Amino acid sequence: MKIVFRFILLAALVALGVWLWFVLFPSPERIIRQRLAELARAASFSSGESDLARLAAAQSLAGFFATNVDVDLDVPGRGQISLAGRDEIRQAVLGIGSRLSGLKIQFPDINITVAPDKQSAAADLTVEANAGGEADFIVQEMKFTFQQTGGEWLIVRIETVRTLSSVTLRFALRRAAFIVSP
Protein backbone atom coordinates (compact mmCIF):
# COMPACT_ATOMS: atom_id res chain seq x y z
CA MET A 1 0.00 0.00 0.00
CA LYS A 2 2.90 2.26 0.86
CA ILE A 3 4.44 1.67 -2.57
CA VAL A 4 1.16 2.51 -4.30
CA PHE A 5 0.87 5.71 -2.29
CA ARG A 6 4.46 6.68 -3.13
CA PHE A 7 3.85 5.93 -6.80
CA ILE A 8 0.73 8.13 -6.85
CA LEU A 9 2.61 10.91 -5.05
CA LEU A 10 5.48 10.67 -7.54
CA ALA A 11 3.07 10.78 -10.49
CA ALA A 12 1.33 13.82 -9.01
CA LEU A 13 4.67 15.59 -8.51
CA VAL A 14 5.72 14.84 -12.09
CA ALA A 15 2.37 16.15 -13.39
CA LEU A 16 2.75 19.29 -11.28
CA GLY A 17 6.28 19.80 -12.60
CA VAL A 18 5.18 19.43 -16.20
CA TRP A 19 2.28 21.83 -15.65
CA LEU A 20 4.58 24.38 -14.00
CA TRP A 21 7.08 24.03 -16.86
CA PHE A 22 4.39 24.85 -19.41
CA VAL A 23 3.09 27.76 -17.32
CA LEU A 24 6.52 29.29 -16.70
CA PHE A 25 8.00 28.56 -20.12
CA PRO A 26 5.11 28.62 -22.60
CA SER A 27 5.83 27.66 -26.20
CA PRO A 28 5.57 30.34 -28.92
CA GLU A 29 2.39 28.67 -30.16
CA ARG A 30 0.79 28.92 -26.74
CA ILE A 31 1.78 32.57 -26.42
CA ILE A 32 0.37 33.38 -29.87
CA ARG A 33 -2.90 31.62 -29.04
CA GLN A 34 -3.17 33.73 -25.89
CA ARG A 35 -2.39 36.88 -27.89
CA LEU A 36 -5.14 36.01 -30.38
CA ALA A 37 -7.63 35.40 -27.58
CA GLU A 38 -6.72 38.79 -26.10
CA LEU A 39 -6.97 40.38 -29.55
CA ALA A 40 -10.47 38.98 -30.03
CA ARG A 41 -11.51 40.36 -26.65
CA ALA A 42 -9.94 43.77 -27.34
CA ALA A 43 -11.58 44.03 -30.78
CA SER A 44 -15.02 43.19 -29.40
CA PHE A 45 -17.19 45.85 -27.85
CA SER A 46 -20.75 46.21 -26.71
CA SER A 47 -23.26 49.00 -27.18
CA GLY A 48 -23.22 51.79 -24.67
CA GLU A 49 -19.47 52.14 -24.42
CA SER A 50 -18.29 55.72 -24.05
CA ASP A 51 -16.07 57.45 -26.64
CA LEU A 52 -13.24 57.46 -24.12
CA ALA A 53 -13.55 53.71 -23.61
CA ARG A 54 -13.51 53.17 -27.37
CA LEU A 55 -10.45 55.35 -27.72
CA ALA A 56 -8.69 53.34 -25.02
CA ALA A 57 -9.75 50.10 -26.72
CA ALA A 58 -8.38 51.31 -30.08
CA GLN A 59 -5.14 52.24 -28.36
CA SER A 60 -4.87 48.85 -26.70
CA LEU A 61 -5.73 47.11 -29.96
CA ALA A 62 -2.94 48.93 -31.77
CA GLY A 63 -0.53 47.43 -29.25
CA PHE A 64 -1.04 44.00 -30.82
CA PHE A 65 0.49 45.20 -34.09
CA ALA A 66 4.02 46.01 -35.15
CA THR A 67 4.67 49.63 -36.10
CA ASN A 68 5.16 48.59 -39.73
CA VAL A 69 2.10 46.31 -39.86
CA ASP A 70 0.56 45.69 -43.25
CA VAL A 71 -3.14 44.77 -43.57
CA ASP A 72 -4.52 43.61 -46.89
CA LEU A 73 -8.23 42.72 -46.93
CA ASP A 74 -10.96 41.92 -49.44
CA VAL A 75 -14.09 43.63 -48.17
CA PRO A 76 -17.53 43.08 -49.74
CA GLY A 77 -18.63 45.96 -51.86
CA ARG A 78 -15.43 47.86 -51.19
CA GLY A 79 -12.86 45.67 -52.86
CA GLN A 80 -9.32 45.66 -51.62
CA ILE A 81 -8.57 47.58 -48.43
CA SER A 82 -4.98 48.17 -47.40
CA LEU A 83 -3.81 49.61 -44.11
CA ALA A 84 -0.23 50.32 -43.20
CA GLY A 85 1.06 51.08 -39.74
CA ARG A 86 -0.51 51.26 -36.29
CA ASP A 87 -1.99 54.73 -36.79
CA GLU A 88 -4.08 53.66 -39.76
CA ILE A 89 -5.30 50.64 -37.80
CA ARG A 90 -6.21 52.86 -34.83
CA GLN A 91 -8.17 55.16 -37.14
CA ALA A 92 -9.92 52.22 -38.80
CA VAL A 93 -10.88 50.73 -35.41
CA LEU A 94 -12.29 54.09 -34.27
CA GLY A 95 -14.22 54.36 -37.54
CA ILE A 96 -15.72 50.90 -37.12
CA GLY A 97 -16.56 51.67 -33.49
CA SER A 98 -18.48 54.79 -34.46
CA ARG A 99 -20.49 52.96 -37.16
CA LEU A 100 -21.47 49.82 -35.25
CA SER A 101 -23.44 49.54 -32.04
CA GLY A 102 -21.47 46.46 -31.02
CA LEU A 103 -19.07 43.86 -32.32
CA LYS A 104 -18.15 40.37 -31.22
CA ILE A 105 -15.04 38.79 -32.70
CA GLN A 106 -14.14 35.13 -32.32
CA PHE A 107 -11.50 32.82 -33.74
CA PRO A 108 -13.10 29.37 -33.68
CA ASP A 109 -10.22 27.67 -35.50
CA ILE A 110 -6.54 28.58 -35.29
CA ASN A 111 -3.58 26.80 -36.89
CA ILE A 112 -0.18 28.12 -35.95
CA THR A 113 3.09 27.40 -37.71
CA VAL A 114 6.20 28.67 -35.96
CA ALA A 115 9.31 29.24 -38.07
CA PRO A 116 12.37 27.09 -37.20
CA ASP A 117 14.21 30.13 -35.81
CA LYS A 118 11.19 30.80 -33.52
CA GLN A 119 11.29 34.48 -34.42
CA SER A 120 8.24 34.50 -36.69
CA ALA A 121 5.00 32.54 -37.02
CA ALA A 122 1.93 32.32 -39.22
CA ALA A 123 -1.59 31.80 -37.90
CA ASP A 124 -4.21 30.55 -40.33
CA LEU A 125 -7.52 31.23 -38.64
CA THR A 126 -11.24 31.58 -39.11
CA VAL A 127 -12.62 34.95 -38.09
CA GLU A 128 -16.26 35.07 -36.99
CA ALA A 129 -17.65 38.56 -36.52
CA ASN A 130 -21.08 39.40 -35.25
CA ALA A 131 -22.10 43.05 -35.49
CA GLY A 132 -24.43 44.59 -32.95
CA GLY A 133 -26.00 41.32 -31.81
CA GLU A 134 -27.59 40.76 -35.22
CA ALA A 135 -28.38 37.26 -36.46
CA ASP A 136 -26.10 37.77 -39.48
CA PHE A 137 -22.44 37.09 -39.02
CA ILE A 138 -19.36 37.45 -41.13
CA VAL A 139 -16.97 34.57 -41.57
CA GLN A 140 -13.62 34.79 -43.28
CA GLU A 141 -10.45 32.77 -43.30
CA MET A 142 -7.38 34.91 -42.67
CA LYS A 143 -3.65 34.62 -42.26
CA PHE A 144 -1.90 36.56 -39.50
CA THR A 145 1.88 36.78 -39.59
CA PHE A 146 3.61 37.34 -36.26
CA GLN A 147 7.12 38.44 -35.49
CA GLN A 148 8.88 38.42 -32.15
CA THR A 149 9.97 41.96 -31.38
CA GLY A 150 11.50 42.87 -28.02
CA GLY A 151 10.23 39.65 -26.47
CA GLU A 152 6.69 40.28 -27.68
CA TRP A 153 4.81 38.56 -30.51
CA LEU A 154 3.42 41.32 -32.72
CA ILE A 155 1.31 41.09 -35.86
CA VAL A 156 3.22 42.27 -38.91
CA ARG A 157 0.77 41.26 -41.61
CA ILE A 158 -2.89 40.33 -42.02
CA GLU A 159 -4.31 39.02 -45.28
CA THR A 160 -7.51 37.30 -46.37
CA VAL A 161 -7.35 33.69 -47.55
CA ARG A 162 -9.43 32.53 -50.48
CA THR A 163 -11.24 29.46 -49.22
CA LEU A 164 -13.39 29.29 -52.34
CA SER A 165 -11.72 30.91 -55.32
CA SER A 166 -14.30 32.05 -57.80
CA VAL A 167 -15.67 35.00 -59.67
CA THR A 168 -17.31 36.11 -56.45
CA LEU A 169 -14.75 36.62 -53.79
CA ARG A 170 -16.81 38.04 -50.99
CA PHE A 171 -17.09 37.83 -47.28
CA ALA A 172 -19.66 35.20 -46.64
CA LEU A 173 -22.66 36.59 -44.89
CA ARG A 174 -25.06 34.45 -43.00
CA ARG A 175 -26.92 33.83 -46.21
CA ALA A 176 -24.22 31.37 -47.04
CA ALA A 177 -24.85 28.07 -45.32
CA PHE A 178 -22.32 27.27 -42.67
CA ILE A 179 -22.11 24.24 -40.58
CA VAL A 180 -21.01 24.57 -37.04
CA SER A 181 -19.67 21.73 -34.96
CA PRO A 182 -21.47 22.22 -31.64
What are all long-range contacts of 102-106, with beta carbons under 8 Å and residues at least 24 apart? 102/45, 102/46, 102/47, 102/131, 102/132, 102/133, 103/43, 103/44, 103/45, 103/129, 103/130, 103/131, 103/132, 104/44, 104/129, 104/130, 104/133, 105/39, 105/40, 105/43, 105/44, 105/129, 106/40, 106/130
- Is residue 174 a contact point for another protein (CB under 8 A)? yes
Identity of the residue, 56 or 81, whose beta carbon is nearer to another protein in the bound complex: 81
Given the complex with another protein, which of 107 and 120 has the nearer CB atom?
107
Angle subtended at Cα 88 by Cα 82 and Cα 93, rounded to the nearest 5 degrees: 100
User: Site residues for another protein, window 64-123 (CB under 8 A)?
Assistant: 108-111
Nearer to another protein, 24 or 177 (CB): 177
Shortest distance, CB of residue 77 to another protein, whole angstroms? 9
From the list 3, 23, 52, 167, which residue makes contact with another protein (rule: CB under 8 A)?
Answer: 167
Of 54 and 104, the one with the shorter C-beta distance to another protein is 104
Instruction: Calculate Rg over the CA atoms of the chain.
Output: 20
Q: Is 29 one of the binding residues for another protein (CB under 8 A)?
A: no
Residue 125 beta carbon to another protein: minimum distance, rounded to whole angstroms: 5
Tell me which residues in 130-159 interact with another protein (CB under 8 A): 137, 139-141
| Helix, coil or strand: residue 142 | strand
SS3 27: coil
- Binding residues for another protein, rule CB under 8 A, total 32
Q: Which C-beta is closer to another protein: that of 57 or that of 155?
A: 155
Binding site for another protein (CB under 8 A): 108-111, 124-126, 128, 137, 139-141, 161, 163-170, 172-182
